[in-house]
Structures are given as C-alpha cells and as structure tokens.
Amino acid sequence: MSKVIETLNLLSPSPGTRHELKLHRYGKAGARPKAYIQAALHADEYPGLLVAQHLISQLDELDRREEIEGEIVVVPVANPIGLGQRINDQHLGRYELAGGGNFNRNWPDLTEAVVARVAGHLTQDVAQNAAKIREALEQEVALLEVRKELDDLRKTLLQNSIGADIVLDLHSDAQALPHLYASVHHLELAAELGCDLGARAVLIETEAGGSPFDECNAGVWWKLNERLGHKAPIPLACFSSTIELRGEQDVDDDLASQDASAIVRFLQRRGLIKGDPKALPSALCTPTPLEGTDIVYAPAAGIVVYRKQLGDWVEAGEVIAELIDPMADSAQGARIPMISRTSGLFFAHMSSRLLAPGAAFAKIAGETPLQHREAGNLLEA
C-alpha cells in the first residue's frame, strides 16, 4: 500500500488552541497525473465531508489492490477554522469570524509573479514548460506571507493543490440539485464530470469573479497562455471545478457513496486509477454560461413562498415565488411576485423562508447570457 496520512498544524489563533489539517495521500509523490480533492472549504456545507469519507474508503481499497496509478491527495476537512465557529450554538462556516471574509473568495492570483519567473525561460517543449510553470507556482506559494491563521490555512491548502492536474473542491448549496462550476477553457472535461456526477446544471464561466479557490488553481494556466502563449506552448494543465453536492441537508450515505464512486470513475478516465470506468453516463443537462444564470434577489423583507419547485423549467417572466409582507395592512397588498429574467432550470434556492432585502435567494440556469450579469462578478457573496 502507498497511502500516507499527514497531519499539519496551523498557526495557533490563541494560547492553548490549535487547528490541524489531515491529508490522505495515495500513489507515489510526484507521479502524474495528480488529483487534489478537498471538502467543506465552506465549513457549514456538510455533504462533502461525508463524500470525502466514502471516497477515502474506496481509495483505501483501490490502494490495497495497487490500482492507484497517479498521485491523489484528499483533504477531508479543508477548513477546521470554520468548522469550529459557533455563536449561540449556531454553526457559521462560510465567513471567517475574525474578519477574513468568505473562505472561498480572495485567493491569490499568482499569474504576474509566475510570468516574472518564467518569461524568457520557456521552450517549444510543452512538457518542459508545464514543469517550469509548476515549479514557479510552488515557489510563489512558498513565498506567501503568513500573518494569521487564515493565511496559514490558505497557504497550506495551496501548497498541496497548486501542482495538481485535477482540483475538485466539494461544496453544497442551500437547497439544490447537483451542479458544478468550471472554466469555459475546460468545457469538455466539465461536461464529462457532470455526466459522471449526474449534474443537473454545468455552469461555465470565463471569469467568475471573487477569486475562488478553483480559479486560483486553474486560472493561472489560461492567463499565462494569454500572456506568453504566442512565444511558447503553454498547456491548460490544471482542470479545476467547484462541485455543489445538492443541498446542505443532503447528508446521506447512499448519495455520498454514489458521489464518491462518480469521482473515482472520473479519475479512472483521467488515468489516475486502474480499471474500467464503464460507459460515460448520459448527460442530464447541457453546459450553460454562468452569466446566463439568473440570481433572483428579494426586493424587500418578507416570507418567501415558492410557486416553482427545484427541477422545474421556468420561462422568462414567470413567477417563481411570492414575497409576503406579514406587516401589510391587507392580504391583497401583502404579496410581491418575484420573476425569473431567463428561461431555464430552477436549480437552487435558499433554505431560510425569511428573506432580507437584497437576499440572493434563487438561481435559474439559462442558456443565454444576461445583460445584467457582468463577467467577473458572477458569484454571490
């Protein structure tokens, strides 16, 4: 067996306390291809925690049978900081309470630093260029400053992911159908992953905005290609995807085992694991542009009542929900219809039925880019 379990301590946030990361490593270090998979960077999105456990169990058996071909790193708890954040017994794992903001935003863009390292040193050998760029990425991550615990968490995760060929970041929405996000540069791989996972929406972006973890890993490659690709061949050597494993309450062994098996099949197709992944399942959706996804916002405070269900196809102009003002003077004036601005699949909505003004409470995946959806600012807070 090749498996190694590594425990890494993070910078202590206060005397007498410390968080740790645990990494399950399979295959030979440095082998290609390399896959990196982490769960619950948004620490209150629990399905990925169970999927990671099923994935580790399946990989343990594959490792016992010596069927791991590449290198696979699984981080079953990617955010121990957020996992421990509670106020009045309410778990709050999306934002760092010490002021660091959203755990999946503002990851560093290493492009300019890597350009400075590799410009003038690339050749016409694409494999050599990939190796030089990965070395430069690892050097830049090593130089990231650590001033507080959140910095240490981000640096440690990146040190293990930045050189990977495949990066899968396991999340979940509030209440949702399975869906995923990926770059337009990896349309075919994203569609294939969506088939294996049974995704109901595959959302493709040019630039999502907000600097999420997946784009930090993969984005540098197409940005380098845009900057230096006219001088030397630069591969799009990292496919990264944020996978939304249904809703936050969909923590179920059967679903988790199914999702873990889908990830194993995807890795088999990519040459990381021996064995026959069987025929690719039929697609349950066609990839659509993220700027075609309408995010519906609450115009005022109130109670939301849905008129459409997840999985419904809605037409532009259709009412998907009504917002009810319980303080209204009359029942007739209490309801505000809320309308989809696109035709598409209603695939996600908030769990809470009490909405604040401006709450992004529903998502509809449409096929046509929307004028009000600006590239580079496509993710909600």
Residue 338: name the closest of 321, 313, 360 by CA: 321
End-of-domain residue from the set 286, 311, 326: 286
How far apart are alpha carbons 21 and 83 in whole angstroms?
A: 12
Mean pLDDT, to the nearest integer, of 178-200? 98
Do the beta carbons of residue 109 and residue 144 sit within 8 Å?
no
Query: Could you tell me the pTM of the whole model?
Result: 0.97
End-of-domain residue from the set 248, 267, 286: 286
The number of folded domains in the chain is 2
- Name the residue range of residue 77's domain: 4-286
Q: What is the pLDDT of residue 115?
A: 97
Q: Residue 356 gets which letter from DSSP?
A: -
pLDDT above 80: residue 377: no
> Do residues 323 and 226 both lie within one domain?
no
Note the pLDDT tens digit of each residue in 42-71.
999 999 999 999 999 999 999 999 999 999
Note the pLDDT tens digit of each residue in 334-359.
999 999 999 999 999 999 999 999 99
**Strand spans (E) along 116-211:** 166-173, 175-176, 179-183, 201-205
Alpha helices in 162-231 (DSSP H): 187-197, 213-228
> Do residues 257 and 293 both lie within one domain?
no
> Do residues 46 and 163 both lie within one domain?
yes
What region does 273 belong to: left with phi over 0, alpha with psi -120 to 50, or beta? Answer: beta
> Do residues 111 and 170 both lie within one domain?
yes
> Do residues 25 and 62 both lie within one domain?
yes
pLDDT above 70: residue 163: yes
Say if 313 falls within a structural domain. Answer: yes
